Structure 1
Protein backbone atom coordinates (compact mmCIF):
# COMPACT_ATOMS: atom_id res chain seq x y z
CA UNK A 1 0.00 0.00 0.00
CA UNK A 2 1.15 3.49 -0.78
CA UNK A 3 -0.07 6.73 0.70
CA UNK A 4 0.31 10.25 -0.50
CA UNK A 5 0.82 13.54 1.25
CA UNK A 6 -0.71 16.61 -0.32
CA UNK A 7 -0.40 20.25 0.61
CA UNK A 8 -1.73 23.54 -0.65
CA UNK A 9 -3.71 26.64 0.25
CA UNK A 10 -7.36 26.73 1.27
CA UNK A 11 -9.01 29.16 -1.17
CA UNK A 12 -12.36 27.81 0.10
CA UNK A 13 -15.01 27.31 0.79
CA UNK A 14 -13.90 23.81 1.75
CA UNK A 15 -16.61 21.18 2.15
CA UNK A 16 -16.20 18.04 4.20
CA UNK A 17 -19.01 15.70 5.27
CA UNK A 18 -21.17 17.60 7.74
CA UNK A 19 -19.25 20.91 7.58
CA UNK A 20 -18.23 23.76 5.34
CA UNK A 21 -15.32 26.08 6.08
CA UNK A 22 -15.03 29.60 4.67
CA UNK A 23 -11.91 30.59 2.71
CA UNK A 24 -8.95 30.84 5.07
CA UNK A 25 -5.97 31.27 2.77
CA UNK A 26 -4.12 28.98 5.20
CA UNK A 27 -1.64 26.43 3.96
CA UNK A 28 -2.96 22.95 4.76
CA UNK A 29 -1.65 19.44 4.30
CA UNK A 30 -3.49 16.14 4.27
CA UNK A 31 -2.59 12.46 4.08
CA UNK A 32 -4.57 10.15 1.80
CA UNK A 33 -4.40 6.68 0.36
CA UNK A 34 -5.75 5.05 -2.78
CA UNK A 35 -6.83 1.42 -2.56
CA UNK A 36 -7.27 -0.63 -5.72
CA UNK A 37 -8.95 -4.02 -6.02
CA UNK A 38 -7.51 -6.11 -8.83
CA UNK A 39 -9.27 -9.09 -10.40
CA UNK A 40 -7.61 -11.10 -13.16
CA UNK A 41 -4.94 -8.43 -13.57
CA UNK A 42 -7.45 -5.59 -14.02
CA UNK A 43 -8.41 -2.83 -11.61
CA UNK A 44 -12.10 -3.27 -10.87
CA UNK A 45 -12.50 -0.86 -7.96
CA UNK A 46 -10.66 2.15 -6.55
CA UNK A 47 -11.28 3.79 -3.19
CA UNK A 48 -9.72 7.02 -2.00
CA UNK A 49 -9.49 7.77 1.72
CA UNK A 50 -8.23 11.01 3.29
CA UNK A 51 -7.63 12.13 6.86
CA UNK A 52 -10.49 14.65 6.91
CA UNK A 53 -10.26 15.24 10.66
CA UNK A 54 -6.68 16.39 10.13
CA UNK A 55 -7.91 18.85 7.48
CA UNK A 56 -10.77 20.10 9.67
CA UNK A 57 -8.40 20.77 12.57
CA UNK A 58 -6.11 22.82 10.33
CA UNK A 59 -8.96 24.87 8.88
CA UNK A 60 -10.65 25.52 12.23
CA UNK A 61 -7.46 26.27 14.17
Structure 2
Protein backbone atom coordinates (compact mmCIF):
# COMPACT_ATOMS: atom_id res chain seq x y z
CA UNK A 1 0.00 0.00 0.00
CA UNK A 2 1.39 3.40 -1.00
CA UNK A 3 2.02 6.07 1.64
CA UNK A 4 -0.39 8.96 1.35
CA UNK A 5 1.09 12.41 0.67
CA UNK A 6 -0.59 14.06 3.67
CA UNK A 7 -0.69 13.45 7.42
CA UNK A 8 -2.29 14.95 10.53
CA UNK A 9 -1.52 18.69 11.10
CA UNK A 10 -0.24 19.22 7.54
CA UNK A 11 -1.20 22.46 5.80
CA UNK A 12 -2.63 21.85 2.32
CA UNK A 13 -3.81 24.04 -0.53
CA UNK A 14 -7.20 23.23 -2.04
CA UNK A 15 -8.17 23.82 -5.68
CA UNK A 16 -11.02 26.19 -4.79
CA UNK A 17 -10.80 29.02 -2.27
CA UNK A 18 -13.02 29.13 0.83
CA UNK A 19 -15.60 31.98 0.87
CA UNK A 20 -13.39 33.85 3.38
CA UNK A 21 -10.75 34.16 0.62
CA UNK A 22 -8.05 31.68 1.62
CA UNK A 23 -7.40 28.20 0.21
CA UNK A 24 -5.01 26.99 2.96
CA UNK A 25 -6.38 24.31 5.28
CA UNK A 26 -4.91 22.37 8.23
CA UNK A 27 -5.75 18.67 8.58
CA UNK A 28 -7.09 18.14 12.12
CA UNK A 29 -8.60 14.62 11.89
CA UNK A 30 -8.00 11.64 9.64
CA UNK A 31 -9.94 8.44 9.08
CA UNK A 32 -12.56 7.45 6.50
CA UNK A 33 -13.43 11.15 6.54
CA UNK A 34 -10.92 13.98 6.88
CA UNK A 35 -11.65 17.09 8.98
CA UNK A 36 -9.86 20.22 7.82
CA UNK A 37 -9.79 23.68 9.40
CA UNK A 38 -9.61 26.87 7.31
CA UNK A 39 -6.50 28.88 8.18
CA UNK A 40 -8.35 32.13 7.45
CA UNK A 41 -11.59 32.00 9.45
CA UNK A 42 -10.96 28.78 11.50
CA UNK A 43 -14.14 27.09 10.13
CA UNK A 44 -13.84 23.29 10.08
CA UNK A 45 -15.32 20.92 7.50
CA UNK A 46 -15.62 17.11 7.41
CA UNK A 47 -14.92 15.75 3.90
CA UNK A 48 -14.98 12.12 2.71
CA UNK A 49 -11.43 10.92 1.96
CA UNK A 50 -12.06 10.29 -1.78
CA UNK A 51 -13.51 13.77 -2.22
CA UNK A 52 -10.63 15.34 -0.25
CA UNK A 53 -8.05 13.59 -2.45
CA UNK A 54 -9.74 15.07 -5.55
CA UNK A 55 -9.94 18.61 -4.10
CA UNK A 56 -6.37 18.86 -2.77
CA UNK A 57 -3.96 20.84 -4.95
CA UNK A 58 -0.65 20.54 -3.06
CA UNK A 59 1.00 20.14 0.31
CA UNK A 60 2.23 23.51 1.62
CA UNK A 61 4.06 22.33 4.74
CA UNK A 62 4.31 19.25 6.93
CA UNK A 63 2.79 19.30 10.41
CA UNK A 64 4.83 19.27 13.60
- Whether TM-score is above 0.5 comes out as no
Query: Which structure dedicates a bigger proportion of its chain to strand?
Result: 1
Answer 1 or 2: higher relative contact order, Cα 8 Å, separation at least 6: 2
TM-score (norm 1): 0.30
TM-score (norm 2): 0.29
